[in-house]
Amino acid sequence: MEFFNLPPLLVSFFLLVLLQTSTIAAKKSYIVYLGSHSHGLNPSAIDLQLATQTHYNLLGSVLGSNEAAKEAIFYSYNRHINAFAAVLDQKVAEDIAKHHDVVSVHENKKLKLHTTRSWNFLEVENDGGIPLNSLWNLSRFGESTIIGNLDSGVWPESKSFSDEGYGPIPTRWKGSCEGGTNFSCNRKLIGVRYFNKGFASDTGPLNSSYETARDVDGHGTHTLSTAGGNFVKGVSILGNSYGTAKGGSPKALVAAYKVCWSTDTGDGCFMADILAGFEAAISDGVDVLSVSLGGGIQEFSDDLIAIGSFHAVQNGITVVCSAGNSGPSDGTVLNVAPWMITVGASTIDRLFTSYVVLGDKRQFKGESVSSKLLPPKKFYPLIRALDAKSNNTSSTEAILCRKGSLNPEKVKGKIVVCLRGENSRAEKGYVVAQAGGVGMILANDKQYGDDLSASPHFLPAAHISYTDGESVYQYIQSTKTPIAYMTQVTELGIKPAPIMASFSSRGPNVVEPSILKPDITAPGVDIIAAFSEAASITDLPYDKRHTQFITLSGTSMSCPHISGIVGLLKTLYPKWSPAAIRSAIMTTAVTEANDLNPILSLEKEKANPLAYGAGHVQPNKAANPGLVYDLSTQDYLNFLCARGYNKTQMKLFTNDTSFVCSKSFKVTDLNYPSISMNNLKSEAVEIKRRVKNVGSPGTYVAQVEAPPGVSVSVDPSTLKFTKTDEEKDFKVVLRRVSNNQTEEHVFGKLVWSDGKHRVSSPIFVILRI
């Protein structure tokens, strides 16, 4: 704009508008973190008022008045987490960061859910994917355990949250049902809260539709029912796979904390709301907190999920988190703090299979879920999408079956072969159906290889591999009248299973390589669980289908499997620490599939602990681990000291002025159930560990599978226990014996066995040049 052509008064007006716009744009929401409160674990109403007043005073000293501070602050975390969230301009945020009481200042960042809608771009699953008969020797199915879920809320009417047969809510529960209008809790779904102020600080004022904990996208209902959903008989997915659905801990009590919100531009979970969810869950009294979300890879002191989790663990709550969906590349794993349980995702022994049979009788095995089926063994004309392209459409658009790319005259009554990529898988089928096609074969390109997904299509469909797709294309081009038919069936007992999901994020842990992450893998592909009836099946705007149960995939789905198992163990062993529970889950895991061969990756290569951690979870064995590697808050604080945290950084995690860092503690000495060494050179490295007997008296002998190029010795190599809860120390010495001049990742195993139990720990070593 050329101001010199405008009258002076109008120029002044525009300058004022620009100045105001600039000031507004500069304002963002921040979280000002002050560490822990001094009022202890059970604050009174006066304690809470004083804590909030302290927040007003602090911000008011920078803004010039407490009134201005009250207007800016939208969350005062005044119970367990000492912090406040406020809308501030950058200069104020920088000034307040210099205040002597302020430990750190964080932007209110948006995080994401770790689910991959298998019909769009990601993968999500849920049905407590571990078979019913493999779990239920465990006591009372998790009865009396309270599982909390930070997510997009809950659909309370779901049968998975029926309270039929439940007794009174435990008196120790301090939560409430704050779900909004037309929302009811019961003796199963005992608590609900929603937090949207962080979301509103980014998007602007919200209308009344956001004043609810009701789930509108299905993710929160799916994850919570996976963790603690009740038994529901007669469940099917669009007419496929009839059976009983249940969560990992089906008789547990559950609570939902809605911290994720959907808009026209996508989903978002803002850190200020997530921190409010942590604060509420701790205060309400949950035993387990399931967190199927995450942000970027961050140092623990900058990671508010890690900080919120630390406060929860301090209060005896086991926190279970998704590893992320950024695999299969190395170094992508998220939520890597040692006080969390970090969960990767793998398959189960069930497939929603769709077979393609060509006119020359060749058969190809794909995957799909559809309520519409073609008549059995009836052949239909087969056509490539490229050969059915409409006028004024590029070949690329047609091959991908994009909207408007197909000619109905060429498609009508035929099965169309579309290429995977760019637009969603379900949309491709919709395009074919709209053009009059009777079915779709969805072929992978070379990039996707054998990565298949059972998407809920609009018409009969089969998703096939790249190799099989090439065969289908060749068949079409080699015959004048190509034909095919398709059949759909649910198959059980598939071997090998599990297989690591390609999307599951991999180690090593780039924040702290001495802590192997992920910790464990669990079912996370095509998992059946409850769904929101407010959400369409595919989330596409023209999809009017709704369902009470659906398949999803992702580490969002595997995380609540472990949360449910934690609930079972908490019922059996209510006095066990979060670390002891994690140890039981990790040290009893298996690294073999159901064909007794090593667990594989999707690429049919042997998987390793960077993908699955300690292995695939075994719930019954976790209930009787023999020994556990236990940890206390003091251990975690010493670990942070050993990482070089200064006094200011330590205030993020403790306000205990009596705590003094141990000078002899090394990061590798954290009593973790796995062993990870980042840089083993010529010098021997000694690692300390301690185990506690949680079984009967016995003698355990060390068995070692040394990583290639590494010698491993254990001292002592025999541990004799005479009573329960007795603890024994031992040392593991690693020596490099390889002279290779290339960097290598090598893996081994340490097992303590008394003839009944096998207490197994993976060993991961990076051999550098």
CA distance 336 to 296: 11
- Nearest of 350, 384, 387, 394 to residue 369 by alpha carbon: 350
Out of 37, 55, 114, 219, pick the active-site residue. Answer: 219
- Hey, what are 232's tokens? 């529901």
- Hey, what are 545's tokens? 């289908």
Distances (CA, A) of 457 to 217, 480, 532: 18, 29, 18
User: To which residue do tokens 């969906």 refer?
Assistant: 325
Is it true that the peptide bond before 498 is cis, omega within 30 degrees of 0? yes
Residues 185, 163: contact at Cβ < 8 Å?
Answer: no
> At 578, which helix (H) or strand (E)?
helix 578-587
> At 62, which helix (H) or strand (E)?
helix 45-63
Neighbours of 200 (CB within 10 A): 18
Tell me how long the chain is. 769
CB neighbour list of residue 498: distance below 8 Å, 6 or more residues apart: 346, 347, 348, 349, 521, 523, 593, 594, 599, 616
Out of 127, 151, 287, 526, pick the active-site residue. Answer: 151
C-alpha angle with apex 248: 245 to 253, nearest 5 degrees? Answer: 95
- Across the beta sheet with 627-628, the strand order is 627-628, 685-693, 727-736, 710-715
**114 catalytic per annotation:** no
Residues 519, 343: contact at Cβ < 8 Å?
Answer: yes
CB neighbour list of residue 224: distance below 8 Å, 6 or more residues apart: 147, 149, 151, 154, 160, 161, 247, 254, 256, 290, 530, 560
Neighbours of 208 (CB within 10 A): 8
Out of 241, 292, 455, 556, pick the active-site residue. Answer: 556
CB neighbour list of residue 758: distance below 8 Å, 6 or more residues apart: 588, 626, 751, 752
CA distance 37 to 82: 5
DSSP secondary structure letter of residue 653: T
> At 242, which helix (H) or strand (E)?
strand 240-245
- Nearest of 353, 327, 329 to residue 555 by alpha carbon: 327
- Hey, what are 380's tokens? 């239909």
DSSP secondary structure letter of residue 355: E
CA distance 42 to 54: 18
Residues 612, 599: contact at Cβ < 8 Å?
Answer: yes
Contacts 24+ apart (CB under 8 A), 87-93: 87/27, 87/28, 87/29, 87/30, 87/201, 88/27, 88/28, 88/29, 88/30, 89/23, 89/26, 89/27, 89/28, 90/26, 90/28, 92/62, 92/63, 93/28, 93/30
- Hey, what are 619's tokens? 């719930």
Question: H helices of 292-363, where?
Answer: 304-314
**80 catalytic per annotation:** no
Is it true that the peptide bond before 673 is cis, omega within 30 degrees of 0? no
Distances (CA, A) of 163 to 169, 495, 496, 499: 11, 37, 37, 35
Look up residue 768 and give its amino acid.
Answer: R
**151 catalytic per annotation:** yes
Instruction: Sort 513 into a burial class: Cβ within 10 Å, 0-12 / 13-18 / 19+.
Output: buried
Beta strands in 103-221 (DSSP E): 104-107, 110-113, 146-151, 189-194
Active-site positions read: 151, 219, 556
